Amino acid sequence: MTLDREGDQLIYSAVGILNQAIQFVQQPGLTDELYIRSSRLIPGSTIGKHVRHVCDHFRLLLQALPNPGASTEGLEGNPKIEIFYDKRQRQVPTESHTGVAEEQMRELVHTLRQFHEVCLVPLDTVVVVKAQIDSHSEHQISLPSTLRRELWFCTHHAIHHYAMIKTLSIEFEVPVTADFGVAPSTLQYNALQSSTTNE
């Protein structure tokens, strides 16, 4: 099964977003001490927690999909895929060690590329997103969605957390690129404004 052009773009975008974070955690200026340092601007927030949070969303989405090495028997029709983003991991090495975070993000990139090469389910497959909306109850609601929409969500969600990582990086004087944590639409708008100004 092959992906359409938009599907290809979604996969490339997700891989590109994760590669941004891989390059960020690789830099010598980001030590593990800075990675776990609590922010004064966003109390309780650390760079590591935001990176782990982004990884969790991609991981939970990809774990819900059929294994690329599995048999395709029984996957025809409407395979039931449930995604529960609230089932996140906390206080794990991904949020305290840059090397562990880099390794996990590389694994996510590898899984995305595998999915791209061996797409067992189309991106328009209907999925069910489970969500807990009340802190006083364990009741979960079920939200219909598509695999395509959830892949976009994880990518867009990462950009917003990158913006917070950028705020912490400035606070801790960790080098960060100008386009890190900036939405594609904003980058496109800024480029258009710049070209108009230079005319």
Q: How much is the pLDDT for 1? A: 54
Does the structure show a pLDDT above 50 at 74?
A: no
Q: How much is the pLDDT for 187? A: 78
* pTM for this model (two decimals): 0.86
Average of per-residue pLDDT across 73-102: 81
Beta-sheet pairing, 140-146 with 126-132: antiparallel
Average pLDDT, whole number, for the chain? 87
Instruction: Name the more confident of 120 and 25.
Output: 25
Confidence of residue 151 (pLDDT cuts 50, 70, 90): very high
What confidence tens digit (pLDDT) does each residue in 113-147 have?
988 887 778 889 999 999 888 778 788 899 999 99
What confidence tens digit (pLDDT) does each residue in 169-179 have?
999 999 999 88
Query: Could you give all domains of the chain from N- to C-terminal order, each with its CATH number?
Result: 5-197 (1.20.120.450)
Distance CA(180)–CA(76), nearest Å, equals: 40
Q: How much is the pLDDT for 119? A: 72
DSSP, collapsed to helix, strand or coil, labels residue 128 as strand
Closest CA to 158 of 24, 18, 10, 1: 18
The DSSP secondary-structure symbol of 87 reads -
Residue reference for tokens 């997103």: 129
Distance CA(93)–CA(32), nearest Å, equals: 11
CA distances from 49 to 95, 96, 98, 153, 157 (A): 5, 8, 11, 19, 14
Range list of H helices, 118-183: 147-172
What confidence tens digit (pLDDT) does each residue in 30-66 have?
999 999 999 999 999 999 999 999 999 999 999 998 7
Q: How much is the pLDDT for 68? A: 56
Q: How much is the pLDDT for 189? A: 75
Closest CA to 20 of 161, 162, 152, 160: 162
Q: How much is the pLDDT for 199? A: 58
Q: How much is the pLDDT for 72? A: 44
Instruction: Name the more confident of 148 and 192.
Output: 148
Distance CA(99)–CA(50), nearest Å, equals: 15
DSSP, collapsed to helix, strand or coil, labels residue 179 as coil
Q: How much is the pLDDT for 156? A: 95
